Amino acid sequence: MAAVAVGFGGVLLTADPGRAQSLIEAVQAALSNNCAALSGPYGAELNELCQIPATTSAAAAGGTITIERRAGAAEEERRIQRRLKERREGASNDAGRGLSLFVTGDYQAFDKDRTRFEVGYRQDTAGTTVGADLALGRTLVLGAAVSYAHEFGDFDGVGGGFDNDAVGLTLYGSVVPAPGFFLDGQVGYTYKDYSIERRVALTITGAPTRIALGRIDGDTESHEARVSVSAGYDFVLGALTVGPRAGVHWRETAVDGFQESGNTGIELVYDDQHVTSVTTTLGLYASFAISTRLGVLVPHAIAEYVHEFADDQRRIGFRFAQDQGQTPLSFQTDPPDRDYANLGVGAVMVLARGVSPYLDYRALVGYNDRSSHTVTLGLRFEF
């Protein structure tokens, strides 16, 4: 009885078909013993794989598809949080200025390590946000922003890569019910399309032969809704401002099911996915106003602790595209970390005539298998 060894990213694994959990192991189990776990009949390429002699085994190499990458609040949400923070900066004197426009550019480098359930990858994201808000007196700000982001990356090893685009809309507001105290709110929607490539190969382990099968492509889209509420209090001690921050963030993401294309026999059909995330944040913020000949420079720093309540390890259903019996199979994603932190530093320069450039850096800290570094450069105009 032959065991099928399936490797993604160039790593070969041997799994028991009865306990297959990762995508690698689930595919491996399905191909074992001449595809005994599949209903059949099969398309031409899958049928050929299922006829591999019992004295040999097969391996497929390529990148696992990771649709939903959990790393805390959506980047659109963070941009608006920064924007509302700038509106409140004492040195900017925004309260009575009315309309204000802003534009930001972001670059994010994200790394995920290979784990028990998912392949590792490197992701780069470039994004921009354009928005406008209006101060209604000294206690209320209302605004709207649109955002665009492009994500691209490679799976570890020889596993292919991905290329994604996202467009979002956010409505937001801030109220100051008492001096020093503020309450912020956001409602947002993001549409994202995904293009994923897997490099797949067949290895006959009965002899040292590796036969390349080719490339598998997949395309799908997702819809994300999010709501967040945050509050804080600023203690003003001369040029120094310091205060606590707390927030609740809800996010619901629906990813459409899709079918991969190719002619390897290992193309898969994935079910719809639904992801719910509810996080709380608790942090401390500080800034210091420095008067210069050019304007007022305000460096700042923030540290926040994040706890995830709702997101959990998920089971995703799939089938072989060339299995005409459409045998239902499934694999599991990584369990998310429940507790981690975000650290950020930056500065805004308040110039004459209502022009303020700013620069921010943010890092994800303490997440078990991933790291993230984000740089934001922005400019705002007041009227």
Which tops the pLDDT comparison, 276 or 48?
Answer: 276
How many residues are recorded in the chain? 383
Q: Is residue 12's pLDDT more than 50?
A: no
pLDDT band at 150 (very low <50, low <70, confident <90, very high): very high
Query: Tell me, what DSSP letter sits at residue 42?
Result: B
pLDDT at 71 over 50: no
For residue 18, pLDDT over 80 is answered with no
The DSSP symbol for 88 reads: H
Predicted local distance difference test score (pLDDT) of residue 74: 65
What's the whole-model pTM score? Answer: 0.83
Tell me the residue ranges of DSSP E strands in the chain: 5-6, 13-14, 99-112, 121-136, 140-155, 161-178, 181-204, 209-233, 235-237, 240-255, 258-259, 268-270, 273-288, 290-291, 296-308, 315-320, 329-332, 339-350, 355-365, 370-382
Of the listed ranges 135-144, 164-173, 277-286, the one predicted with least confidence: 135-144
Question: In the predicted model, is pLDDT for residue 15 greater than 60?
Answer: no
User: Phi-psi bin for 28: left (phi > 0), alpha (psi -120 to 50), beta?
Assistant: alpha
Q: Is the pLDDT of residue 244 over 60?
A: yes
Residues β-bridged to residue 223: 191, 254
- The per-residue pLDDT for 130 is 92
| Average of per-residue pLDDT across 308-324 | 88
> Could you tell me the residue ranges of all domains in the chain?
78-195+215-382
Q: Check: CATH 3.40.50.300 for 78-195+215-382?
A: no
Structure confidence at residue 253 as a pLDDT band (50, 70, 90)? very high
Q: Residue 368 has what pLDDT?
A: 84
The answer on pLDDT for 319 being more than 80 is yes
For position 94, what pLDDT does the model report?
47
Task: Flag whether pLDDT at 159 surpasses 80.
Answer: no
